[in-house]
A and B are shown apart, each in its own frame.
Chain A
Amino acid sequence: MSEPIITTVPATSGGPNADNALPWIVDLDVFESSWFGVFNLTVDATSIHGARLVSDGTRNVSLSFLTVLAKGTWTIELLHDKGPNRGIFTVLIDDLPVGTIDAFHGSSQINQRSSITNVSIGLTGRKTLQIVMATRNPASSNYVGAFQHIQLRRTA
Chain B
Amino acid sequence: MAVNTETMPRRIEINVFMSYNNIGWNSIATDTFAHRRGLRSSTGAQNAEFSLPVVLSAGTWDIEIIHSAGPTVGIYSVLIDNIEIGTFDGYRTATMNNQSSTLSFNRLTTGKKVLTIRMATRNVASSNFLGRINHIVLRRLL
Question: Is the pair A4, B19 in contact by a Cβ cutoff of 8 Å?
Answer: no
B106 at the interface (CB under 8 A from A): yes
A141 CA to B104 CA, complexed, in Å = 52
A interface residues, how many (CB within 8 angstroms): 40
Task: Report B's interface with A, CB cutoff 8 A.
Answer: 1-3, 5, 8-9, 12-15, 17-20, 28-30, 32, 36-38, 52-55, 57, 60, 62, 80-81, 83-86, 88-89, 100-113
B residues less than 8 Å from A138 (CB atoms) = none
Q: A8-B106, A17-B3 are in contact. List 14 more A-B contacts (CB 8 A).
A: A2-B103, A7-B86, A9-B80, A9-B105, A13-B81, A16-B110, A20-B55, A21-B111, A23-B12, A47-B37, A48-B38, A111-B29, A111-B30, A153-B18
Question: Is the pair A50, B36 in contact by a Cβ cutoff of 8 Å?
Answer: yes
A115 CA to B8 CA, complexed, in Å = 28
Task: Report A's interface with B, CB cutoff 8 A.
Answer: 1-2, 4-18, 20-25, 27, 45-50, 77, 79, 110-111, 113, 115, 149, 151, 153-154
Report the nearest A residue to B18, measured CB to CB: A151
B residues less than 8 Å from A46 (CB atoms) = 30
B residues less than 8 Å from A17 (CB atoms) = 1-3
Question: Is the pair A24, B30 in contact by a Cβ cutoff of 8 Å?
Answer: no
A49 CA to B39 CA, complexed, in Å = 10
Rounded to whole Å, the gap between the CB of B71 and the closest CB of chain A is 18
